[in-house]
Chains A and B, each alone.
Chain A
Amino acid sequence: GAVVSQHPSRVICKSGTSVKIECRSLDFQATTMFWYRQFPKQSLMLMATSNEGSKATYEQGVEKDKFLINHASLTLSTLTVTSAHPEDSSFYICSARQYNEQFFGPGTRLTVL
Chain B
Amino acid sequence: QKEVEQDPGPLSVPEGAIVSLNCTYSNSAFQYFMWYRQYSRKGPELLMYTYSSGNKEDGRFTAQVDKSSKYISLFIRDSQPSDSATYLCAMSAANDYKLSFGAGTTVTVRA
Contact = CB atoms under 8 A, between A and B. Distances in A.
Interface of A: 1, 4, 6, 32, 34, 42-44, 46, 49, 91, 93, 97, 100-107, 109
Interface of B: 32, 34, 36, 41-46, 49, 51, 88, 90, 92, 97-99, 101-104
A49 B97 CA distance: 9
Contacts of A107: 41-43
A49 B96 CA distance: 11
Contacts of B43: 4, 6, 93, 104-107
Contacts of B51: 100
Contact of A100 (B88, B92, B102, B103): B92
Nearest to A32: B97
B46 A103 contact: yes
B41 A97 contact: no
Given A104-B45, A105-B43, A106-B43, A97 B97 contact: yes
